[in-house]
Amino acid sequence: MIVTDVKIEVYQWQRTKPIRNGRYVYPTDGLNVIKIETDEGITGIGLCGGVMGDNGEIVSSILQHMKQYVIGQDPFNNEKIWDEMWQPKLVGRRGITTRVISGIDIAIWDIKGKVANRPLYKLLGGFTDKSPVYVAGGYYEEGKGLDDLAQEMIESLQTGANAIKMKIGGAPIREDVERIRVVREAVGPDVKLMVDANCAYKYYEAIDIARKMEPYDIFWFEEPINPDDYAGHKLISSSTSIPIATGENEYTRYGFRDLIENRCVAILQPDALIMGGVTEFMKVAALAQAHDLTIAPHGNQDVHVHLVSAIPNGLTVEYYRGSTNPMWGKMFKHTLQVDDGHVSPPDRPGIGIELNHEALAAYRII
């Protein structure tokens, strides 16, 4: 078997209302799909993270460059392909090029699963057939008050989850602490509540709000500061009883090595769609396991349910529903369902993603 072609499809759609986290406004959402075709008629589907709109043309150009390292290769040689694509002197060290590498690598692993006729999580280790899940949301929106926020969190729990996440960092500290109080009172003491600042604070501000949040039993405090401020993460971690989590903006095993060696955080959040794909994710998971650290990936549930279920140190899967993505339940022919606080990877070969082309067609931009 050899790879015969590599293609990209970029989709984008408007949200009914723009949503905002601590620093950024998101009026649109989308899907970035990389397809790898083979001479045996098997096509791998990969997803590329965090690249939409105007960046689509850049991604397409990067993919054209990467094709030379993929076409003609045996997809079972994923380590060789990854190593040839990732040339940090030229491309790949961080940013959009590594995100494209991620999508290619995920598609390659999808092919491997389809050839083996096994779901990806089985191919990678098959530690469990279900993993804990939390529902992400709690964004800032125009006109959204405290009652609306509380109702959203309650509705997230009605999916079958028993853990939720909300945004902070986009309002004054006292206001955000009040938002947290309202949510905690609305969901009760038995629900795990995470908060996510999306790098909104300076380290001393993060320490301040962490101490003010402690009475509300916060399960983790995510991305309090800029990802490269390793010393700041360590200062925050040593100043609060709340576990600090980060990693969605970290790249490759080298970035996570530095987080781990400096004991910056308690929970690592690699995103396979961003940091290097399945190949690199599994190396980070092993490195974390050697340091008794857990993995709670950021982002797409359809890919990460396999990765968390494959490893012994998988903590939880992030899950997005219709409140954050208007195409939830429409993009793919199968929608991952929450059951009693857990999600299970599909038994379909590979990742198990089947695009709903009929629903997506109107939103394709590349």
Query: In CATH, what number is assigned to the domain containing residue 16?
Result: 3.30.390.10
Catalytic residue of the set 114, 122, 165, 167: 167
Rounding to the nearest 10 degrees, give the CA dihedral for residues 245, 249, 253, 257. Answer: -50
Q: Does 136 lie in the same domain as 13?
A: no
Same domain, 131 and 212: yes
Per the prediction, the chain carries an average pLDDT of 96
Q: Which of 192, 298, 306, 342 is catalytic?
A: 298
Catalytic residue among 110, 152, 222, 302: 222
182 shares a domain with 295? yes
User: For strand 25-38 and strand 43-47, is the pairing parallel, antiparallel, or unpaired?
Assistant: antiparallel
Residue 52 pLDDT > 70, yes or no?
no
Give CA–CA dist 124/34, Å, rounded.
21
Catalytic residue (one of 29, 105, 196, 318): 196
298 is catalytic: yes
Say if residue 87 is in the same domain as residue 150: no
Domain shared by 199 and 228, yes or no: yes
Q: What is the pLDDT of residue 54?
A: 59
Provide the domain limits for residue 246: 122-343
**Token reading at 309:** 């279920």
Same domain, 49 and 133: no
What is the CA 189 to chain-centroid distance, rounded? 27
Domain co-membership, 159 together with 266? yes
The strand pair at 131-136 and 317-319 is best described as parallel
Final residue before a domain boundary, out of 92, 117, 142: 117
196 assigned to active site: yes
**Residue 12 pairs with which residues in a beta bridge?**
30
Pairing label, strands 244-246, 218-222: parallel
DSSP 91-124: B-SSTHHHHHHHHHHHHHHHHHHHHHTSBHHHHH
Exposure string of 79-96, with b = 16+ CB inside 10 Å and e = fewer, is: eebbeebbeeeebbebeb
In a domain, 355, yes or no: no
Nearest CA-CA partner of 11 in 345, 352, 332, 317:
332
Q: Rounded to two decimals, what is the model's pTM?
A: 0.97
Q: What is the pLDDT of residues 98-141, one digit of tens each?
A: 999 999 999 999 999 999 999 999 999 999 999 999 999 999 99
pLDDT at residue 51 in the model = 60
Query: Which are the contacts of 191, defined by CB distance < 8 A and separation ≥ 6?
Result: 157, 162, 163, 164
Q: 220-279, pLDDT tens digit by residue?
A: 999 999 999 999 999 999 999 999 999 999 999 999 999 999 999 999 999 999 999 999
| Catalytic site includes residue 84 | no
Total domains in the chain come to 2
Q: Choosing from 29, 248, 280, 302, which is the catalytic residue?
A: 248
Q: In terms of domains, do 59 and 203 share one? A: no
Q: Which of 105, 152, 271, 302 is catalytic?
A: 271
Q: Is 228 one of the annotated active-site residues of the chain?
A: no
- Quick one: pLDDT band at residue 50, thresholds 50, 70, 90? confident
Q: How many CB atoms lie within 10 A of CB 228?
A: 13
361 in any annotated domain = no
What CATH number corresponds to the domain at position 331? 3.20.20.120
> Does residue 364 fall inside a structural domain?
no
Instruction: Tell me if 102 is assigned to some domain.
Output: yes
80 and 215, same domain (yes or no): no
Cα–chain center distance at 151:
25
What is the token pair recorded at 361?
A: 């067609």
Residue 175 annotated in active site? no
In the residue annotation, 306 being an active-site residue is answered as no
Q: Does the CA dihedral 179-325-10-88 come out positive or negative?
A: positive
pLDDT at 59: 87
| Coil, helix or strand at residue 28 | strand
Instruction: Quickly tell me which residue has 């009172």 as its tokens.
Output: 185
Rounded-to-integer distance, Cα 25 and Cα 42, Å: 38
Residue 106 is encoded by which pair of tokens? Answer: 């995920």
Are residues 236 and 331 both part of a single domain? yes
